[in-house]
């Protein structure tokens, strides 16, 4: 399932009351992040997954697609660290390459959101005449249950990795746009922005110089959680059989194929499931840390 | 208040109009022949062609569209291609199942989420707080289909405490309902409970820091009483919003959970409808479901306005 | 003796007499009562049997409905709601005398008017209404007589009429105007009647107390025979998850299930509370070439593919080990069976494949294996076939879509796909005639250019349908199968075993094309 609208919830934790000296803001941010234990834990987990993803060609010896009927249903052990599936494919290879796909899909969805979510949100928040139109459309897209919308869109587009990325982009961009719009709505009423307007600065300049940089913090926090949701929803789609086409080794696909053997060969689902969980946990911790440190509301309060 | 309600209801109309147009376009863009889906395995081309003709699927798209909207304005959402029953009837048959399951999951979410959140806030920075928040974090990171599978393996296959799937209506057999609904409800609820616990904790902490609570405490009021009377009452406002979100998440989550546990609810109905290209069912079913979600959101907004007199809706 | 094709009333009458009324040893429920819950694999969408071709519908509906004629245990046509049938000497008239008294589940007495109404509805919305293409009309001279008039003699008519693919079930006349798919409250004459149907969850049936069994038989046979409902109720519960079916059978939550996964069988066999009942030859796993596009339009190339395949490996993956190697389109226990063309089957000779490949002039063009993820056997066989083709130097690529899309794509001529993966279950069970229609124009599955089938094949098909003698028609089938295999118009991989299972206290359950609930009883 997709915790879709959850990302719109401001679930802010209490700030650590560290007295600040006058320092460069970026430095302060970095120092606070490095002092945030859970952020470091999340970062560590994510780093492991990213390393697996990047090193996949090096650390696996067998292709994740290589069938070997003789070895089917080998439990985890010395021959196959993670065991094999019903085709005798190495689950180690499949899970590691799955990490690569998860990271790629999550990253691409984040990129789509960063670009289109910002553009739509900024346009709606800044140009009041566009607001109604854009936000009605946005609301309509958000009114669909997220997983169903993703299923329908992948059904339309086709079952390749790229199509899944586009589908997830369509599902999540309205949510990002809404958050950006909220920040922009507040920022455009700020005195320094009004001053820039009075001084005759162009819209583009105002947006680029005065508004967007200040809307970045909530966006970055949103995107870090979005990464987690994208990974999770992609796995859900694959698991339901509507994600990236098998035999592509996504974690959801591995679990979907292993589902009918869950009693007699449970490792086929438990291992990729655990990988998925650890990844999402890492990303969520990362997001938490970023939010604690970056959330402007907390900064304002201090 | 009445004017706000009316305005909010009116704003739902364009949303639903866009939803219906998007749905129609999307479902007809999906490749694949509904007749082939209905015919099933090893049907002959003749049989598939007969189904197509009998169900009017050989009509041009434009005339199907006009036909659908024409009927919609007369309050008729058509018939499911796959089930042969009216869309409204099929939806209404499934809706109580999803509502009952969601209600059960909501209760679990509220109990676990609120208790964990409040306890963590009161014991801020102790080991209780830390354990509670780590559990909440794990909760929000656990994919619900994975949790569901693990529970099936453990509780249904190994321990044999609960059935692996299926559904018994509460009105038929309350105990049977409890047995069939518990695992699905937990798998739906855990993620949301984690979410709610985190929000409850942070909201409570914010409220607890406020002056009047400090004053109350300073006046010597026992702290439990303070918490219950003041802090929780104030914390309920943001939490109401979250509950609204949780309700829509439950509907979305039911898609996976109902498929996994073979529960005949709305999520399973719509998933099957999309996968089988059951055009009228997808169009009508999604329209009804999104309308309900929009209504839930409006209800939450209204509650919010009632709870917090400062909030004034101007439609923004 | 070949009895696959009935030609005259004489043969048919003989068949019925052979099992005819005998007072001794008629089936009697050893134990009456009990509620059986059966775990069914696939969702049921409708119980409107006349308009549905799906196995899941038939599974349940055929315990509710009956027809004039059906098939027995060995797939021979038998009478069900009729006492007798006579064919006129000019082969243009079939006269049925109805059994009486028969009451529908709503208490109404069945008469020939209901049979007429049922045929009327079938002709309008019946999913396989082409059965009646050669029928001029039907009428009811009196309340117990129903007559079918043919346009021209059709030696295969009785075979078609008794088909259980989409049977012409008899419904009360007042339901005759119900549109296709919409007969949601089924009323039949069978031993069980509907209690409730909850789509996506379960269908519950109960014993029909007013049932009149067919006393021409002593035992249940096939879809017909002497049937008794020993159980109080039967609930078909939809359990799509194979693991959940296994678990349900183990815990006793389910008393019977269909389609037990092969991987779980060794464990289940050790369980004293469970009886494993394999149903051999459940379906034939098939890949159909697309002969309207390169390189599969080239016979030499198709022969190369044929030579490369190792059927054991493919079937093993497709069925997890529950299969039988099988030549052609019928099974050895069937009257129509022939092994004509067996030299082409399971060659597994990569060297020969490479030789054919060289002769075909193949230059590495992509070869698209069109399969789906909804039916794991089809997906699995495509995956293994891809690997085997790649091993001989064929650039085989998978195109995995969902079932409705793959059917739609496979019906298109021209590029886009080269092999379509499917399975034939009901038709091979019904006989050669039902099966080979897949390979004849129009709509031949090998997708000949402009839908113009191979003339030799079309000629054999015509003979199969029209030759007056059963021997002649059988010879035509053997000829047709040989052509199909030698010219590689289809690649039948082998046959599946569908394993069913019941709890040890369930007796009388014999796996068949549907889970038959009559003459099944439970102890304690």
**What pLDDT score was predicted for residue C198?**
86
A133 vs chain B: nearest CA distance in angstroms? 10
pLDDT higher than threshold 80 for residue A14: no
Mean predicted confidence (pLDDT) in A173-191: 88
pLDDT higher than threshold 60 for residue C384: yes
- Helix axis angle, B174-208 relative to B144-151, nearest 10°? 140
pLDDT higher than threshold 60 for residue C9: no
**What pLDDT score was predicted for residue C5?**
38
pLDDT in tens, C395-445: 999 999 888 889 989 988 999 999 999 999 989 999 999 999 999 988 799
pLDDT higher than threshold 70 for residue A296: no
Mean predicted confidence (pLDDT) in C487-496: 96
Confidence of residue A116 (pLDDT cuts 50, 70, 90): very high
**What pLDDT score was predicted for residue A297?**
53
**What pLDDT score was predicted for residue B169?**
86
Beta bridge partners of B173: none
pLDDT higher than threshold 50 for residue C10: no
Q: How far apart are CA C87 and CA C73, in angstroms?
A: 23
Confidence of residue C8 (pLDDT cuts 50, 70, 90): very low
A143 contact residues in B (CB cutoff 8 A): 15-16, 19, 290, 293-294
pLDDT in tens, B176-200: 999 999 999 999 999 899 988 988 8
A111 vs chain C: nearest CA distance in angstroms? 28
Q: How far apart are CA C501 and CA C507, in angstroms?
A: 11
Contact A282, A274 (CB under 8 A): no
pLDDT in tens, B207-264: 777 766 777 777 776 666 766 667 777 777 777 777 777 887 887 788 889 988 888 8
ipTM above 0.90, yes or no: no
C160 vs chain B: nearest CA distance in angstroms? 14
A17 vs chain B: nearest CA distance in angstroms? 13
C241 contact residues in A (CB cutoff 8 A): 259-260
**What pLDDT score was predicted for residue A183?**
87
Confidence of residue A23 (pLDDT cuts 50, 70, 90): low
pLDDT in tens, A133-150: 888 888 888 888 888 888
**What pLDDT score was predicted for residue B308?**
66
Which stretch of DSSP H or E encloses residue C21?
none
**What pLDDT score was predicted for residue C15?**
44
Retrieve residue C453's tokens.
Answer: 């089938």
pLDDT in tens, A65-108: 988 888 889 999 888 889 999 899 999 999 999 999 999 999 99
Average pLDDT, chain C: 91
DSSP class of residue C469 equals S
Question: Which of the given ranges, A180-189, B77-86, B107-116, has the highest pLDDT on average?
Answer: B107-116
Q: Between chains, do A255 and B253 touch, taking CB under 8 Å as contact?
A: no
pLDDT higher than threshold 80 for residue A51: yes
Whether A239 has its CB under 8 Å from any CB of chain B: the answer is: yes
Contact C199, C44 (CB under 8 A): yes
**What pLDDT score was predicted for residue C134?**
94
Contact C370, C303 (CB under 8 A): no
B291 vs chain C: nearest CA distance in angstroms? 23
Residues 130-189 of A with CB under 8 A from B: 136-137, 139-141, 143-148, 151-153, 155-156
**What pLDDT score was predicted for residue B226?**
67
Question: What length does chain B have?
Answer: 316
pLDDT in tens, C265-314: 988 999 999 999 999 999 999 999 999 999 999 999 999 999 999 999 99
**What pLDDT score was predicted for residue A15?**
39
**What pLDDT score was predicted for residue B314?**
42
How many CB atoms sit inside 10 A of residue C486's CB?
A: 15
pLDDT in tens, C175-223: 999 988 888 889 999 999 999 998 888 999 999 999 999 999 999 999 9
Helix, strand, coil shares of chain B as percentages rounded to 5? 75, 0, 20
pLDDT higher than threshold 50 for residue C500: yes
Residues 200-259 of C with CB under 8 A from A: 241-243, 246-247
**What pLDDT score was predicted for residue C14?**
39
Confidence of residue A6 (pLDDT cuts 50, 70, 90): very low
**What pLDDT score was predicted for residue B184?**
94
C401 vs chain B: nearest CA distance in angstroms? 9
Which residue of chain B has the CA closest to C198?
B264
Q: How far apart are CA B38 and CA C54, in angstroms?
A: 8
Q: Between chains, do B38 and C180 touch, taking CB under 8 Å as contact?
A: no
The answer to whether the peptide bond before residue C295 is cis (omega within 30 degrees of 0) is yes
Name the one residue in this structure whose structure tokens are 């959402």: B77
**What pLDDT score was predicted for residue C123?**
95
Q: Between chains, do B252 and A148 touch, taking CB under 8 Å as contact?
A: yes
pLDDT higher than threshold 60 for residue C388: yes
Among the listed residues A192, A221, A43, A46, the one whose alpha carbon sits nearest the alpha carbon of residue A117: A221
Contact C52, C46 (CB under 8 A): yes
Which residue of chain A has the CA closest to C246?
A263
pLDDT higher than threshold 80 for residue A289: yes
Mean predicted confidence (pLDDT) in B22-28: 85
Whether C496 has its CB under 8 Å from any CB of chain A: the answer is: no
Retrieve residue B160's tokens.
Answer: 């044999």
Whether A104 has its CB under 8 Å from any CB of chain C: the answer is: no
pLDDT higher than threshold 90 for residue A157: no
Mean predicted confidence (pLDDT) in A209-236: 88
Confidence of residue B312 (pLDDT cuts 50, 70, 90): very low
pTM of the model: 0.86
pLDDT in tens, C237-246: 988 888 888 8
Q: Between chains, do B259 and A242 touch, taking CB under 8 Å as contact?
A: no
Contacting residues for A228 by C-beta, under 8 A, at least 6 apart: A106, A279, A280, A283, A284, A287, B141
Residues 28-67 of A with CB under 8 A from B: 38
Q: Between chains, do C243 and B277 touch, taking CB under 8 Å as contact?
A: no
Average pLDDT, chain A: 84
A9 contact residues in B (CB cutoff 8 A): 195, 199, 241-242, 245
**What pLDDT score was predicted for residue B76?**
87
Which residue of chain A has the CA closest to B198?
A11
**What pLDDT score was predicted for residue C16?**
46
Burial of A76 (C-beta count, 10 Å sphere; 0-12/13-18/19+): middle
pLDDT higher than threshold 80 for residue B42: no
DSSP class of residue C494 equals E
- Helix axis angle, A91-112 relative to A37-59, nearest 10°? 120
**Nearest CB to C246 within list A87, A242, A263:** A263
DSSP class of residue C138 equals E
**What pLDDT score was predicted for residue B309?**
60
pLDDT higher than threshold 80 for residue B126: yes
Retrieve residue A114's tokens.
Answer: 């960063």
Mean predicted confidence (pLDDT) in C16-32: 69
**What pLDDT score was predicted for residue C484?**
97
Question: Which of the given ranges, A241-245, C42-46, C435-439, has the highest pLDDT on average?
Answer: C435-439
């Amino acid at each position: 399932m997709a915790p879709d609208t959850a990302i719109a919830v401001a679930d802010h934790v209490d700030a650590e009351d560290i007295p600040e000296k006058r320092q460069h803001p970026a430095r302060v941010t970095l120092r606070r992040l490095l002092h945030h234990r859970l952020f470091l834990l999340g970062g560590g987990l994510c780093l492991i997954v990213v390393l697996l993803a990047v090193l996949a060609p090096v650390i696996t010896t067998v292709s994740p697609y290589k069938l070997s009927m003789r070895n089917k249903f080998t439990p985890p052990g010395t021959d196959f660290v993670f065991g094999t599936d019903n085709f005798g494919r190495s689950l180690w290879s499949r899970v590691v390459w799955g990490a690569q796909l998860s990271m790629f899909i999550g990253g691409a969805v984040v990129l789509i959101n960063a670009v289109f979510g910002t553009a739509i949100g900024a346009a709606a928040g800044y140009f009041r005449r566009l607001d109604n139109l854009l936000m009605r459309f946005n609301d309509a897209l958000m009114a669909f249950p997220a997983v169903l919308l993703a299923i329908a869109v992948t059904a339309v587009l086709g079952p390749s990795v790229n199509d899944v990325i586009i589908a997830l982009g369509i599902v999540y961009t309205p949510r990002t746009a809404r958050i950006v719009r909220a920040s922009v709505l507040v920022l455009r009423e700020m005195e320094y922005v009004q001053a820039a307007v009075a001084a005759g600065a162009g819209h583009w300049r105002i947006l680029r110089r005065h508004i967007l940089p200040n809307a970045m913090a909530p966006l970055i926090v949103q995107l870090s959680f979005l990464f987690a949701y994208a990974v999770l929803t992609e796995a859900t789609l694959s698991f339901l059989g509507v994600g990236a086409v098998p035999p592509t080794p996504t974690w959801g696909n591995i679990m979907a194929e292993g589902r009918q053997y869950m009693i007699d060969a449970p490792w086929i689902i438990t291992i990729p499931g655990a990988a998925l969980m650890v990844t999402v946990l890492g990303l969520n911790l990362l997001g938490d840390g970023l939010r604690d440190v970056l959330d402007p509301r907390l900064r304002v309060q201090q | 208040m009445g004017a706000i309600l009316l305005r909010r209801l009116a704003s739902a109309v364009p949303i639903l109009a866009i939803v219906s147009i998007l749905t129609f376009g999307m479902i007809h863009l999906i490749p694949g022949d509904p007749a082939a889906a209905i015919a099933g395995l090893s049907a002959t081309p003749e049989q598939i062609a007969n189904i197509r003709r009998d169900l009017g699927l050989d009509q041009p798209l434009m005339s199907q569209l006009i036909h659908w909207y024409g009927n919609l304005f007369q309050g008729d959402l058509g018939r499911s291609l796959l089930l042969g029953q009216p869309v409204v009837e099929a939806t209404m048959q499934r809706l109580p199942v999803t509502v009952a399951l969601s209600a059960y999951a909501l209760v679990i979410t509220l109990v676990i989420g609120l208790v964990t959140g409040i306890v963590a806030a009161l014991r801020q920075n102790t080991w209780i707080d830390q354990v509670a928040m780590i559990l909440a974090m794990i909760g929000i990171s656990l994919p619900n289909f994975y949790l569901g599978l693990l529970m099936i393996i453990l509780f249904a296959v190994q321990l044999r405490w609960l059935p692996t799937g299926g559904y018994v209506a509460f009105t038929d057999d309350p105990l049977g309902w409890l047995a069939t609904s518990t695992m699905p409800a937990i798998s739906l609820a855990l993620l949301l409970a984690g979410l709610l616990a985190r929000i409850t904790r942070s909201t409570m902490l914010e409220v607890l820091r406020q002056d009047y609570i400090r004053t109350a405490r300073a006046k010597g009021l026992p702290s439990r009483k303070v918490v219950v009377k003041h802090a929780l009452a104030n914390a309920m406002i943001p939490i109401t919003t979250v509950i609204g979100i949780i309700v829509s998440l439950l509907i979305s989550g039911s898609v996976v959970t109902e498929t996994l546990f073979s529960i005949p609810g709305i999520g399973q109905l719509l998933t099957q409808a999309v996968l089988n290209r059951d055009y009228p069912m997808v169009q009508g079913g999604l329209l009804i479901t999104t309308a309900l979600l929009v209504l839930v959101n409006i209800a939450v907004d209204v509650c919010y306005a009632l709870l917090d007199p400062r909030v004034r809706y101007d439609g923004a | 003796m070949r009895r696959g094709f009935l030609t005259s009333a004489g043969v048919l009458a003989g068949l019925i007499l052979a099992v005819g009324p005998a007072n001794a040893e008629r089936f009697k429920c050893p134990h009456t009562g009990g509620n059986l819950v059966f775990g069914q694999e696939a969702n049921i969408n409708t119980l409107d049997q006349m308009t549905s071709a799906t196995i899941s519908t038939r599974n349940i509906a055929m315990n509710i409905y009956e027809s004039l004629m059906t098939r027995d245990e060995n797939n021979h046509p038998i009478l069900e709601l009729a006492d007798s049938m006579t064919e006129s000497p000019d082969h243009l008239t079939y006269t049925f005398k109805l059994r009486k008294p028969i009451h529908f589940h709503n208490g109404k007495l069945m008469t020939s008017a209901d049979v007429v109404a049922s045929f009327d509805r079938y002709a309008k919305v019946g999913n396989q209404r082409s059965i009646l293409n050669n029928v001029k009309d039907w009428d009811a001279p009196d309340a117990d007589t129903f007559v079918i008039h043919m346009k021209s003699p059709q030696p295969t008519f009785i075979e078609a009429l008794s088909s259980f693919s989409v049977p012409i079930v008899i419904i009360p006349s007042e339901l005759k105007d119900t549109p296709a798919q919409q007969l949601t409250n089924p009323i039949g004459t069978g031993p069980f009647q509907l209690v409730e149907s909850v789509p996506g969850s379960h269908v519950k049936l109960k014993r029909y107390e007013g049932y009149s069994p067919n006393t021409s038989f002593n035992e249940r046979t096939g879809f017909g025979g002497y049937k008794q409902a020993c159980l109080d109720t039967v609930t078909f519960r939809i359990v799509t998850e194979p693991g959940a079916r296994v678990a349900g059978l183990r815990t006793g939550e389910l008393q019977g299930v269909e389609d037990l996964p092969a991987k779980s069988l060794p464990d289940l066999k050790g369980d004293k509370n469970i009886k494993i009942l394999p149903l051999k030859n459940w379906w034939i796993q098939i890949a159909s070439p697309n002969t309207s596009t390169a390189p599969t339009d080239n016979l030499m190339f198709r022969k190369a593919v044929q030579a490369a395949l190792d059927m054991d490996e493919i079937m093993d993956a497709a069925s997890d080990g529950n299969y039988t190697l099988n030549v052609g389109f019928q099974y050895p226990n069937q009257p129509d069976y022939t092994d004509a063309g067996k030299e082409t089957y399971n060659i597994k000779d990569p060297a020969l494949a490479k030789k054919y490949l060289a002769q075909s002039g193949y230059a590495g063009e992509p070869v698209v294996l069109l399969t789906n993820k909804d039916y794991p056997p089809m997906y699995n066989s495509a995956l293994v076939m891809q690997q085997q083709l790649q091993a001989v130097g064929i650039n085989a690529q998978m195109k995995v879509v969902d079932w409705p899309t793959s059917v739609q794509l496979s019906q298109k001529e021209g590029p886009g796909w080269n092999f379509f993966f499917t399975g034939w279950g009901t038709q091979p069970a019904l006989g050669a005639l039902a099966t080979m229609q897949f390979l004849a124009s129009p709509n031949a599955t090998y997708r000949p250019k402009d839908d113009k089938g191979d003339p030799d094949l079309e000629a054999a098909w015509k003979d199969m349908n029209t030759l007056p003698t059963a021997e002649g028609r059988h010879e035509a089938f053997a000829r047709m199968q040989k052509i199909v295999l030698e010219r590689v118009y289809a690649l039948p991989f082998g046959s599946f075993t569908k394993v069913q299972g019941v709890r040890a206290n369930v007796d009388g359950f014999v796996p068949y094309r549907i889970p038959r609930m009559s003459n099944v009883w439970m102890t304690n």
